[in-house]
Homo-oligomer: A and B are copies of this chain.
Amino acid sequence: MPETNVDSLVASHDPTHPANLICELCRLFYNNGWVTGTGGGISIREGDLIYIAPSGVQKERMVPDNMFVMDLATKEYLRVPKSLKPSACTPLFLAAYTIRNAGACIHTHSQNAVVVSLLYDKVFTIANIEQIKALPKIVEPGYLGFFDTLTIPIIENTAHEEDLKDSLEQAITDYPSATAVLVRRHGIYVWGETVWKAKVYNEAIDYLLELAVKMRQLGIQPDGAIGSERNTRLV
Q: Which residue of B lies closest to A156 (CB)?
A: B226
Q: Is A4 an interface residue (CB 8 A)?
A: no
User: What is the oligomeric copy number?
Assistant: 4
* A76: chain B residues within 8 A (beta carbon): none
Q: Which residue of B lies closest to A128 (CB)?
A: B185
Q: Is A123 an interface residue (CB 8 A)?
A: no
Q: Is A79 an interface residue (CB 8 A)?
A: no
A115-B218, A145-B159 given; A121·B230 CB < 8 A: yes
Q: Is A36 an interface residue (CB 8 A)?
A: yes
* A213-235 interface (Cβ within 8 A of B): 214-215, 217-218, 220, 226, 229-230, 232-233
A109-B131, A120-B233 given; A37·B203 CB < 8 A: yes
Give min CB distance, A92 to chain B, whole Å: 13
Measured in the bound complex, the distance between the Cα atoms of B146 and A39 in whole Å is: 13
* A131: chain B residues within 8 A (beta carbon): 37, 39, 109
Measured in the bound complex, the distance between the Cα atoms of B185 and A119 in whole Å is: 21
Please state if A200 and B38 are interface contacts (CB–CB under 8 Å).
yes
Is the interface on chain A under 10, 10 to 19, 20 to 34, or 35 or more residues? Answer: 35 or more
Task: Please choose the segment from A5-13, A42-50, A95-103, A204-212 that sits at the chain B interface, where 4 or more of its residues have CB less than 8 A away.
Answer: A204-212
Please state if A204 and B159 are interface contacts (CB–CB under 8 Å).
no
Q: Which residue of B lies closest to A129 (CB)?
A: B185
Measured in the bound complex, the distance between the Cα atoms of B53 and A164 in whole Å is: 41
A129-B114, A226-B185 given; A39·B204 CB < 8 A: yes
Q: Is A1 an interface residue (CB 8 A)?
A: no
User: Knowing that A39-B134, A109-B207, A121-B233 are A-B contacts, what are 20 other residue pairs whose CB atoms are under 8 Å apart, sorted by A's residue number?
Assistant: A37-B200, A37-B207, A38-B134, A58-B200, A111-B210, A114-B130, A115-B211, A115-B215, A118-B215, A118-B218, A118-B220, A118-B232, A119-B218, A119-B232, A128-B157, A129-B186, A130-B183, A130-B187, A146-B157, A157-B226
* A207: chain B residues within 8 A (beta carbon): 33, 36-37, 39, 109, 111
Measured in the bound complex, the distance between the Cα atoms of B111 and A204 in whole Å is: 12
Q: Is A173 an interface residue (CB 8 A)?
A: no
Please state if B159 and A146 are interface contacts (CB–CB under 8 Å).
yes
